[in-house]
Structure 1
Amino acid sequence: MRLEKKATVASSSVAALLVLLKLTVGILSGSIAVLASAIDSLLDLTVSMFNYFALHNAEKHPDEQFHFGRSKLEPLAAVIEGTIISFSALFILYEAISKIMHPAPMEYMGASIYVMVASFIITGFLVVFLNYVAKKTKNMVIRADALHYKTDIFSNGAVLFALVAIEYTGEQLIDPILGIAIAFYMIYSAVPIIKEGVLMLLDVALAKEDVQKIEAILKSEPEITAYHYLQTRESGSHIFISYHLVFNISISLYDAHLIADKIEAKIKALFDDKKVHILTHMDPYDDSEINEEEEEW
């Protein structure tokens, strides 16, 4: 099993355990903060299971139906995860406002505190593991999952602090106010995840720095007279690059092919942590202006 899949199995298992603990205590205690954390963990479980499905299918080889594979399932999963985080935040916000308008005393404070301590510690270990996997694999889905659970650490810590404060001060208003703060923080953390996923689904070009590195390689090759139509896009763990290389008209196809292979090897070395697909079009003369005129028509 790939390391990315092991990460999603681990996050799913942790989320399932936390859902059981938090939901039980949240319902019994009547705490909006604990209940909000339970709902967040339930959504974590759903997202982690979907991430496993996305990673499992994204690694499938191209076939007759999907000629370029299913790598876009990874950014799609990230968008769905960010959207779910946002909707869960809105629900928490609604519940918190409702409790401010209709206050109710909390019960089972001791059990709630113990559950949140356990949640804080377990989630902390999970985030360390997910960050390790994300750095090693450069996988967008795992990185989004790590960020998601990192927000859980802050929310779990905040809920724990609130419960202790309520236990010692008796001020019940702390609970819904904290719920509102958690909701806004969840939305804030979800926006970058959604943005990056949407841009990747729209075939956004590689970062300007990466494009400049590719151009530097093309410009440094003395055997080509020019290049044009450099296009790039990223799809999950895959990078797609295409360009036209202009050769001297007298060069043999064999020699031109060797030069093109050498250039491709240099470019792929820039992204050794990604699967790079390069399409090279070899021109005997610079036809960029002619093609531009045809595109305008």
Structure 2
Amino acid sequence: MTLQKKATIVSSATATILIVIKLFIGLLSGSVAVLASAIDSVLDLIVSAFNYFAITKAEQPANKKFNYGKGKIEALAAVIEGTVITVSGLFIFYSAIKKALFHEPLERLSESILVMLISLGLTIALVIFLNYVAKKTRSMVVKSDALHYKTDVLSNGAILVSLVLIQVTGFELIDSIMGVIISIYIIHSAYEIIRDGVYILLDASLDEEIVESIKNIILEEKELSDFHYLKTRKSANTNFVDVHLVFSPGISLMRAHHAGDRIEEKIKALIPEGEWVINAHLDPYDDSEINDMRQQVKGEMD
């Protein structure tokens, strides 16, 4: 079993434990913040189970139907996860406003505080583990899961502080105020997850720093005259690079091929733990203007 899959199983198990204890105490105490946190944990469990499925599909090798593999299913999973998180944030916001309007009383504050302490400890441990897996595997699904649980750390901490303040001051409106703040933060975090997933689905280029490094590597090759049509994208743990390398007309195919190999090896070293698919087209002269004119004429004819 891969490390990514193990991470989703650990996330699911942790979410299950948190659901049981938060839901039980939340219903007894009537705390909208604790109940909202319990609902968030239910969504965590659903998302973690879906992530396991997504990673399993993404790891399948390329075939005749899916020539580039199914890596983009991770980005799709991130978009779905972000959407689920947004819905949970909106529900927490609604619950907080409703509690503030109807002035529902809080009970069993001591038990609620203990539950949130346990939740905070478990969530912090999970975030540390998920960050380790995300850094090691560069999996977008695990990265999204880690970001999600980071928001849980902050929300659990905020809920814990609010419960302590309520116990000390007796000002129960703090519960609703904290619920609103947590919901806004959750929705903001979900936007970032959705954005990153959509970028991959739309074949956005690799990070600007990586693209600049690729350009520098190409320009450092002495056998080259120039390059054009550099395109990059990412799918799951695979980085794709397409480029036209321009050589002098008299160069042998063997020398041009070796130069291309050197460039590819240096590019792969930028992210050694990642997978790379590099397609370098070898040009004996700069044909970019001619190709651009052909495309323009074709577009006018269409």
Q: Same fold per TM (> 0.5)?
A: yes
**How far 1:59 sits from its partner (Å)?**
1.1
1:76-99 Cα distance to aligned partner (Å, 9 max, x none)? 222222211111010111111111
TM-score (norm 2): 0.94
Residue 33 of structure 1: aligned partner: 33
Q: Which moved more, 1:39-48 or 1:216-225?
A: 216-225
In structure 2, the residue matched to 1:79 is 79
Corresponding position: 1:207 with 2:216: no
Q: CA RMSD in A?
A: 1.4
SS of equivalent to 1:233:
strand
Residue in structure 2 matched with residue 175 of structure 1 by the alignment: 175
Moved more, 247-256 or 66-75: 247-256
- Counterpart residue identity of residue 273, structure 2: D
Q: What SS class does the counterpart of residue 280 from structure 2 fall into?
A: strand
Residues 117-196 of structure 1 mapped to structure 2, 5 A cutoff: 117-196=117-196
Q: CA deviation at 1:171?
A: 2.0
1:131-162, CA deviations, whole angstroms, 9 ceiling, x for partnerless residues? 12122222222122111111111111111122
Amino acid at match of 2:164: V
Q: 1:255 Cα shift?
A: 3.1
* Distance in structure 2 (CA, Å) of the matches to 1:2 and 1:139: 11
The 3-state SS of whatever aligns with 2:60 is: coil
What is the match of residue 288 of structure 1? 288
Amino acid at match of 2:128: V
1:3 corresponds in structure 2 to 3
1:226 correspondence with 2:226: yes
Flag structure 1 segments of 5+ consecutive residues without an equivalent: none
- Map 1:235-254 onto structure 2 (within 5 A): 235-254=235-254
How many positions carry a matched residue from both structures? 297
* CA deviation string 1:247-291 (max 9, x = no partner): 233333333222222221111111212111001111222211110
Q: Distance in 1 between matches of 2:124 and 2:211?
A: 37
Query: CA offsets per residue over residues 19-47 of structure 1, 9 Å max, x none?
Result: 11111211222110000000111111111
Q: What displacement does 1:208 show? A: 2.3
Amino acid at match of 1:107: E
Q: 1:63-112: CA deviations, max 9, x gaps?
A: 11111001111222222222111110101111111111111112222322
In structure 1, what is the equivalent of residue 103 of structure 2?
Answer: 103
What secondary structure, in the 3-state scheme, does the structure 2 residue paired with 1:105 have? Answer: coil
What is the deviation of 1:168?
A: 2.7
Output the amino acid matched with 2:9: V
Structure 1 ranges of 4+ moved more than 6 A: none
2:210 alignment partner AA: D
Measure the CA separation in 2 of the matches of 1:110 and 1:94.
25
Alpha-carbon distance in structure 1 between the residues aligned to 2:197 and 2:230: 23
Q: Distance in 2 between matches of 1:124 and 1:171?
A: 28
**TM-score of the superposition, structure 1-length normalised?**
0.95
1:188 alignment partner, SS class: helix
